[in-house]
Amino acid sequence: MRSGGRLLPSLGIFLVTGGLLLLGWFAYLWFKPIPAPYQYQLIEEGSSSTFNKMDLEGWPELKLGQYKVQADGVDKPIAEFIVAKQEDGAPVLIYWKNSTNEILYNFDRKPSELTTLAEAISKYAPKDALILSWWDTSRQIKLLTGRDTLFTNHLNEPLMIPAPWLDHSKAIQAYENQFWQSKADAAELDRFKHFSQALAAPAEEGIQQLRQLIGSDREAYLIVHVTDLYKLGLMYPESIGVAYQNFPMTGNMHGMINQMKVQVKENNFDTYTLQSVSDNEIRVFFLSDEESGQTLLARMLPFVDKPAPTELELAQLIYQQGGYWVYKLP
């Protein structure tokens, strides 16, 4: 009887301990962060001479790295990209190639357009001028020209991911911030919010908001890119409605234009503009209505049957290269 009496308390302690361990395991599973549904895997590192297609011969000091994006459950990479950095600085995205039909993180651009733009800014923009542009373009310009930009960190706004990944948004944001070594604070995020709101505002109001954001009469330049349209539309769909579609480049330009007109008619779009993605592909951005075309960003880009950027009196167009348009702010 005595041994049985000693056994019961021991058994009780064992059960309680086991229960606590089980609760701890469930708590661990509950609070354990869900990992991002993809990983960036390094393929190759080198200097600008290693990556000739990037047209970075004028920046021999840069360190470049090529990565592939490997998604869970998918055998082939879903994208590849190239980053560049100065010494031990944070990596800056300078090339992105999406291999899927889904919206994925960024839009493809021609590398030569960026380097040509950077060379022009280095040559003509005063060294004490302030450059305003989307945060990704800002980081590229900062890296290649050393000019002062309004944004210096990887802000990852908006988050462009496939719908099935939306439940992983927090994990993706954390993974992106770690990879890109983002140190953005609340003040920089707030500046970007006001910057993007200005682009989505009616043109005259938007110019005034940008000057208020600068906070002085400092000489400033605004760089916009045609791909900014879609990103702005994701952030402010109530102000600017944007859709896009890629088309293969063919020798039949008349036939391609007819395809775009068909899209406009069938979807009741208001107008469209083009981006040359490569020698074999173009991307067409459509605006949903006339009000979208009155936003500052839309007024600064060339749309079919709309006033040309050269006719914009609110800011002075001083340079254009591919999808980039550069304005001097009043």
Cβ atoms of 225 and 138 closer than 8 Å: no
**pLDDT tens for each residue of 90-135:** 999 999 999 998 888 899 999 999 999 999 999 999 999 999 999 9
Confidence class for position 30, pLDDT limits 50, 70, 90: very low
Percentage, residues of the chain above pLDDT 70 = 89
Residue 9, pLDDT score: 53
Cβ atoms of 92 and 85 closer than 8 Å: yes
C-alpha separations of 318 from 125, 208, 273 in Å: 10, 19, 20
Residue 1, pLDDT score: 42
Alpha-helical segments (H) within 125-252? 135-145, 169-179, 186-200, 203-214, 228-235
Structure tokens given for 288: 């949903």
Residue 23, pLDDT score: 56
In one-letter notation, the amino acid at residue 322 is G
Residue 33, pLDDT score: 59
Alpha-helical segments (H) within 51-157? 111-124, 135-145
- Has residue 164 got a pLDDT over 80? yes
Residue 248 and residue 278: Cα distance in Å, rounded?
10
| Nearest residue to 137 via CA among 246, 206, 231 | 231
- Has residue 201 got a pLDDT over 70? yes
**Highest mean predicted confidence (pLDDT) among 9-18, 147-156, 260-269:** 147-156
Residue 208 and residue 314: Cα distance in Å, rounded?
10
Residue 32, pLDDT score: 54
- Has residue 28 got a pLDDT over 50? no
Percentage, residues of the chain above pLDDT 90 = 77
Residue 280, pLDDT score: 86
Which letter, b or e, does each residue of 37-57 get, where b requires 16 or more Cβ atoms within 10 Å of its Cβ?
bbebeeeeeeebeebeebbbe
Q: Which residue has the higher pLDDT, 36 or 7?
A: 36
Query: For residue 320, which phi and psi values (nearest 5 degrees)?
Result: -145, 135
Cβ atoms of 106 and 96 closer than 8 Å: yes
Residue 254, pLDDT score: 72
The pLDDT of 158-165, averaged and rounded, is 93
Residue 2, pLDDT score: 44
Q: Which residue has the higher pLDDT, 52 or 13?
A: 52
Average pLDDT score over the chain: 90
**pLDDT tens for each residue of 251-300:** 766 777 788 888 888 999 999 999 998 888 899 999 999 999 999 999 99
Longest dimension (CA), the chain: 101
Residue 26 and residue 322: Cα distance in Å, rounded?
54
Alpha-helical segments (H) within 109-202? 111-124, 135-145, 169-179, 186-200
